Amino acid sequence: MQKKPVAKINAKKNLRPLILDLHQYTAGRSIEEIAHKYHIDPSRILKLGSNENVLGSSLKAKIAATFALDKVNIYPEVTSDKLANKIKKINRLKNVEVVVGNGMDHIFEMLARLFLNNGDETIISVPTFTPYELVTLWAGAKPRLIPLLKNSYQMNIKKILDSVNKKTKIIFICSPNNPTGNLMNSDDIKHILESTDKIVFLDEAYTEFPGNSLIKWIEKYPHLIIGRTFSKIFGLAGYRVGYAFIHKSLVTYYLNSITPFTVSRPAQSAALAALDDHDFFNKSVQMVKEAKEYYSRELSKSGIKYIPTDANFITIDTKPNKAKLIATKLLEKGIIVRDCSSFGYGAEYFLRITFGTKEQNKRVIDALRTNIHLCQ
């Protein structure tokens, strides 16, 4: 074969065509970025745009992770069995197994790997967490996007069930939903589970705040898989640990398909220790409860519309103004919140604010009041 001159090689032409249409995931803004852009002292910046835990993380988890550094020359467990077993033991479920991943984001990728072929379909109620759509597209499958009902932000069950067809493989449900913050009606979830045998993936990233998980339902519905994360209540977003409850009839296939060693040794140790730190857990739940009451009261007083929330954040409806306008004003004051326009489907009018401490919340409310004309 004749050699091609190196200058003429077009590496791009090897890409799968669908990759050419993708765009990068939009994450919340970082402190460094805002400090640099607006010349603000980083210690004055509030990071309330990514639903992290503002209390930090459990000291026990940090100590455990530090001890684990001693063995970073050794690979971690292939599938994080020790952590999976501990979560399983705490939850005492019959015929339900636990799998661990590099953040729940990794679990979404695993779902695509397990269930999606080129040309298959998923059903997603929007606006919601965008990675469900992304993993569908990466697999060469098609997301069928069904808008949440106006005003209630609940699922449109009729449209969802009408969209199920031979190609449908996964129905994604996020409860509490990001970015609206509300729990999905559990009767609706049951209705879907009883009407179809397609995989129903329920994302419970924020479930510890309202404290009402549906994991028990997997005992009855083997096509239900429930995702959870250490990134929110446990404050370990930087370590990337997620997990899922999955029926025992599926777990072998999951483990046979998993990328090995995805969760680092310090991350596994931190997660194991975090499960034992009940004080940190309870403190986080309490802070969110108080913040929810504070925001609901103060926003109502100011006549700012918001969506009643069950998560560690609250979303205000800035219509007729785009949320970007008020988000920019807050950024100038060193307050990072989330303008939800990248979620699409009407979310350009949503401003999502992560709950903080009393002082932080007051600073946000004061800043919103100063710019009230942009919030209503």
* Closer to ligand PLP by Cβ: residue 234 or 280: 234
* Closer to ligand PLP by Cβ: residue 231 or 361: 231
Q: Which long-range contacts (CB under 8 A, 24 or more apart) does 186-192 make?
A: 186/214, 188/154, 188/155, 188/157, 189/214, 189/217, 190/217, 191/157, 191/161, 192/155, 192/157, 192/160, 192/161
The answer to the question of residue 207 lying near ligand PLP (CB under 6 A) is no
By CB under 6 A, the count of residues binding ligand PLP is 13
- Contact map string, positions 140 to 179, toward ligand PLP, x by CB under 6 A: ----------------------------------x---x-
CA distance 262 to 228: 16
* Smallest separation, CB 126 to ligand PLP (Å): 13
CA distance 142 to 134: 10
Length of the chain: 376
* Smallest separation, CB 31 to ligand PLP (Å): 17
Contacting residues for 20 by C-beta, under 8 A, at least 6 apart = none
Of 237, 251, 255, 285, the one binding ligand PLP by CB under 6 A: 237
The answer to the question of residue 229 lying near ligand PLP (CB under 6 A) is yes
Contacting residues for 1 by C-beta, under 8 A, at least 6 apart = none
* Segment interacting with ligand PLP (CB under 6 A) among 97-105, 116-124, 272-280, 346-354: 97-105
345 Rama sector, left if φ>0, alpha if ψ -120 to 50, beta otherwise: left
Contacting residues for 342 by C-beta, under 8 A, at least 6 apart = 26, 130
* Smallest separation, CB 297 to ligand PLP (Å): 25
- Contact map string, positions 37 to 66, toward ligand PLP, x by CB under 6 A: --------------x---------------
* Segment interacting with ligand PLP (CB under 6 A) among 103-111, 117-125, 210-218, 360-368: 103-111
The answer to the question of residue 104 lying near ligand PLP (CB under 6 A) is yes
* Smallest separation, CB 125 to ligand PLP (Å): 12
Q: Which residue is it, tokens 């108080």?
A: 290
The answer to the question of residue 205 lying near ligand PLP (CB under 6 A) is yes
CA distance 83 to 90: 11
* Segment interacting with ligand PLP (CB under 6 A) among 8-16, 101-109, 263-271, 366-374: 101-109
CA distance 287 to 292: 9
Measured in degrees and rounded to the nearest 5, phi and psi for residue 213 equal -70, 155
The answer to the question of residue 105 lying near ligand PLP (CB under 6 A) is yes
* Closer to ligand PLP by Cβ: residue 120 or 203: 203
Q: Is the peptide bond before 143 cis (omega within 30 degrees of 0)?
A: no
CA distance 184 to 207: 11
Window 108-137: residues binding ligand PLP (CB under 6 A): 129
Q: Which residues in this chain contact ligand PLP in the complex, by CB under 6 A?
A: 51, 103-105, 129, 174, 178, 203, 205, 229, 231, 237, 242
